[in-house]
């Protein structure tokens, strides 16, 4: 007789049944897939994350970084196009791209270079659908990192901003990776006191900004003084922290520290060789001369000149930065320097810079299509560089405190009309009867840089104005504008620098400039020039402005006539409400004093529903 097998229970049997049940459930789910429309889930399903990084930048622009397999990396700019930028901006949660950048405009990244020779049509839903050399396969360096400029409009429902929230920045430095340290607290930027400031803390700042370790920790406002809050003091870092805010520190009061003690850094940067592609010739010193740039590839390299058409301060700033010679003092459209190298060919024209670029080839220019209105080496670009520069800031609180409306009779405005200080409608007014409605306020302009602010033109070319009985050293020193919340200008004014002088100075600073008796004009470091609300042209003619909510904007040195270490702090903005009879001015601040998000809220300010301004 064959033996009968007896079945015995095993724990593996239950496990087997459970697996079968799970398979049945999964197969029913997979039978009718439902694609997700949530951009955040879509990105996550591919195992990729995207972010914008680098400095300086706005929230919708920067170096593109991708996280793959837990590691962040960049994209090489080889074959990069606007179509690829469109795809990446959508991955980042923006509707589209408005531009892209090459040659690590936002600074070189670190880690892997994930994509190279990226080729997109622009319609792809994901960058993974674009052609490339493959993940991690690249022959580039981080000096070729690509960046994008996205339209400042978010995709509906995209909750992940995918943007690194900058909480530290450098201001006032002449070279990349150096400047006064400023940190973000409660949506407001402030400086760091230099007490106990050392190389460990400076290295934390440098790494937080994407640079290497610190080369130097600066004290005593070596990069110019800030204005406003001082957020931190006695910062003690070990050097390993990921953020300056992770270091033990002291929250200070106004009595603890002054802006003369603002801390700064100089970071170690990778060598790019950018300074080898530019040089100066014929100058009286190494800091000045005609600008020559090197173009071409291996075997075809040659030196050439830059057309002087439209060459100005911003372009000179970039040239001096690339040369490693500090700030720009002057941008020259005509040069009389002797040329010992016999370089006569113009190889670059139409150069237009924003002033933040690291090299001239990052600026807009005509490319290979050279167009120059004036020929000859005399009409080529030159620069005079300097290790120091001025830095003007407006005292915003004083504008808010002194603003008021005056109805001024026309018979008292003949001189103002002669100097174009009234709205264009004043020309057709019934002179000398009637009046103009003026928004008056005082402006106090501080020089917090490291060099005196001097007019570009010398005394021999100042213009005498008989009506007011004074000279103008700069035709336009400040712009005054009333804007709608969407930025449309509805009223404007301007102030000529008829008297740049030291009205008052800090305790340890002596006045140097005084306008009386045809004296020298300027603003000394540590001094300020006060334009009182009761002088001519210190106003905006708002006669034609209708009641509503507006933005009051004041811009110093608007045409960049005089070089400064930092132009981003030259604008001041206020919210204002005008009811047709009275005006309320509030929330005045320097243009870059708030975080980008706070600035966005300011510009989208819906207006006061009552006159109770808090």
User: Which tens digits make up the pLDDT trace of 423-478?
Assistant: 989 988 888 899 999 999 999 999 999 999 998 877 777 877 777 677 777 878 89
**Distance between CA atoms of 128 and 111, rounded to whole angstroms?**
20
Is 13 a member of any domain? no
Region 372-400 average pLDDT: 92
Q: Read off the pLDDT band of 200 (50, 70, 90).
A: very high
475 and 593 assigned to the same domain: yes
Higher pLDDT residue, 316 or 424?
316
Is 296 a member of any domain? yes
510 pLDDT more than 80: yes
Average pLDDT, the chain: 84
Bridge-partner residues for 113, per DSSP? Answer: 74
In the prediction, which pLDDT does 110 show?
A: 84
Question: At 555, is the secondary structure helix, strand, or coil?
Answer: strand
DSSP code at position 473? S
In the prediction, which pLDDT does 253 show?
A: 61
pLDDT tens string 256-294: 788 999 999 999 988 888 899 999 998 899 999 999 999
Question: At 546, is the secondary structure helix, strand, or coil?
Answer: coil
Is 437 a member of any domain? yes
515 and 531 assigned to the same domain: yes
Burial level of 405, CB count in 10 A (0-12/13-18/19+)?
Answer: middle
536 and 590 assigned to the same domain: yes
Residues 6+ apart with CB under 8 A from 171: 179, 180, 182, 223, 224, 226, 566, 568, 569
Query: At which of 267, 297, 316 does a domain end?
Result: 267
pLDDT cut 70: percent of the chain above it: 86
368 and 425 assigned to the same domain: no
**Distance between CA atoms of 401 and 143, rounded to whole angstroms?**
48
Q: Are 439 and 482 in contact (CB under 8 A)?
A: yes
605 pLDDT more than 70: no
114 and 177 assigned to the same domain: no
Higher pLDDT residue, 163 or 291?
291
Host domain of residue 204: 168-267
445 and 503 assigned to the same domain: yes
283 and 249 assigned to the same domain: no
371 and 302 assigned to the same domain: yes
In the prediction, which pLDDT does 614 show?
A: 35
H/E element, 205: helix 199-208
Q: How many CB atoms lie within 10 A of CB 424?
A: 10
In the prediction, which pLDDT does 46 show?
A: 60
Count of structural domains, the chain:
4
Bridge-partner residues for 352, per DSSP? Answer: 364
H/E element, 15: helix 11-30
Is 554 a member of any domain? yes
User: In which region does residue 334 sit, left (phi positive, over 0), alpha (psi from -120 to 50) or beta (all else)?
Assistant: beta
In the prediction, which pLDDT does 107 show?
A: 83
In the prediction, which pLDDT does 165 show?
A: 55
Is 134 a member of any domain? yes
From residue 301, how far is each of 24, 223, 277, 304, 348 by CA, in Å? 68, 37, 10, 10, 14
In the prediction, which pLDDT does 255 show?
A: 64
Is 567 a member of any domain? yes
C-alpha closest to that of 59 among 604, 598, 580, 460 = 598
25 pLDDT more than 80: no
Is 173 a member of any domain? yes
489 and 578 assigned to the same domain: yes
Is 285 a member of any domain? yes
243 pLDDT more than 70: yes
528 and 503 assigned to the same domain: yes
Least confident window among 335-344, 438-447, 558-567: 335-344
Region 203-229 average pLDDT: 91
Edge-to-edge strands, sheet with 443-447 = 392-394, 443-447, 527-531, 504-505
Query: At which of 150, 180, 214 does a domain end?
Result: 150
550 and 528 assigned to the same domain: yes
C-alpha closest to that of 252 among 266, 233, 275, 272 = 233
In the prediction, which pLDDT does 28 show?
A: 38
Query: At which of 218, 235, 267 does a domain end?
Result: 267
Region 57-72 average pLDDT: 86
Higher pLDDT residue, 597 or 591?
591
C-alpha closest to that of 154 among 162, 164, 143 = 162
CATH for 225: 3.10.250.10
Q: Read off the pLDDT band of 498 (50, 70, 90).
A: low
Q: Where are the alpha helices (DSSP H) in 302-343?
A: 313-323
442 and 576 assigned to the same domain: yes
């Amino acid at each position: 007789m064959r033996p009968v097998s007896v079945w015995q229970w095993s724990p593996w049997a239950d496990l087997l049944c459970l697996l079968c049940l799970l398979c049945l459930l999964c197969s029913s789910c997979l039978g009718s897939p439902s694609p997700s429309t949530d951009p955040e889930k879509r990105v996550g399903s591919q195992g990729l994350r995207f972010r914008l990084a680098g400095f300086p930048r706005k929230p919708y622009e920067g170096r593109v970084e991708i996280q793959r397999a837990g590691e962040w990396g960049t994209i090489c700019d080889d074959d990069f196009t606007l179509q690829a930028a469109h795809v990446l901006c959508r991955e980042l949660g923006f509707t589209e791209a408005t531009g892209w950048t090459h040659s690590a405009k936002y600074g070189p990244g670190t880690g892997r270079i994930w994509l190279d020779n990226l080729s997109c049509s622009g319609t792809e839903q994901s960058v993974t659908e674009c052609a490339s050399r493959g993940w991690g396969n690249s022959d580039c360096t981080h000096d070729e990192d690509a960046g994008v400029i996205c339209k400042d409009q978010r995709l509906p429902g995209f909750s992940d901003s995918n943007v690194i929230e900058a909480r530290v920045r450098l201001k006032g430095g002449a070279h990349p990776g150096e400047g006064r340290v400023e940190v973000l607290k409660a949506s407001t930027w402030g400086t760091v006191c230099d007490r106990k400031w050392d190389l460990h803390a400076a290295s934390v700042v440098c790494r937080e900004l994407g640079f290497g370790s610190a080369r130097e920790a600066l004290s005593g406002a070596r990069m110019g003084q800030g204005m406003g809050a001082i957020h931190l003091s006695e910062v003690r870092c070990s050097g390993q922290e990921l953020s300056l805010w992770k270091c033990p520190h002291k929250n200070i009061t106004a009595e603890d520290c002054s802006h003369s003690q603002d801390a700064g850094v100089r970071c170690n940067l990778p060598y790019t060789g950018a300074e080898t592609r530019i040089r100066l010739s014929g100058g009286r010193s190494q800091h000045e001369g005609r600008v020559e740039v090197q173009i071409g590839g291996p075997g075809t390299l040659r030196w050439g000149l830059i057309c002087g058409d439209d060459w100005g301060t911003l372009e000179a700033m970039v040239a001096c930065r690339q040369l490693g010679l500090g700030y720009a003092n002057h941008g020259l459209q005509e040069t009389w320097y002797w040329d010992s190298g016999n370089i006569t060919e113009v190889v670059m024209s139409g150069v237009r810079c924003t002033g933040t670029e690291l090299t001239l080839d990052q600026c807009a220019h005509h490319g290979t299509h050279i167009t120059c209105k004036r020929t000859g080496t005399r009409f080529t670009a030159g620069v005079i560089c300097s290790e120091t520069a001025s830095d003007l800031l407006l005292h915003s609180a004083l504008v808010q405190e002194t603003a008021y409306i005056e109805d001024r009779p026309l018979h008292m405005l003949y001189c103002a009309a002669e100097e174009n200080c009234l709205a264009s409608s004043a020309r057709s007014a019934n002179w000398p009867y009637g009046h103009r409605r003026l928004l008056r306020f005082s402006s106090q302009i501080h020089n917090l840089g490291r060099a005196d602010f001097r007019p570009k033109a010398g005394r021999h070319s100042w213009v005498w104005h008989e009506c007011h009985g004074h000279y103008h050293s700069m035709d336009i020193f400040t712009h005054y504008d009333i804007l709608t919340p969407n930025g449309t200008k509805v009223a404007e004014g301007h102030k000529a620098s008829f008297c740049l002088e030291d009205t008052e100075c800090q305790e340890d600073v002596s006045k140097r400039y005084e306008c009386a008796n045809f004296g020298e004009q300027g603003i000394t470091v540590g001094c300020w020039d006060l334009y009182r609300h009761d002088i001519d042209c210190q106003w905006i003619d708002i006669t034609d402005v209708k009641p509503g909510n507006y933005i009051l904007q004041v811009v110093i040195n608007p045409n960049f006539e005089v070089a400064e270490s930092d132009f981003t702090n030259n604008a001041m903005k206020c919210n204002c409400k005008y009811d047709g009879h009275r005006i309320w001015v509030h929330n005045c601040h320097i243009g870059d004093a708030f975080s980008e998000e706070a600035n966005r809220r300011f510009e989208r300010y819906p207006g006061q529903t009552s006159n109770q301004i808090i």
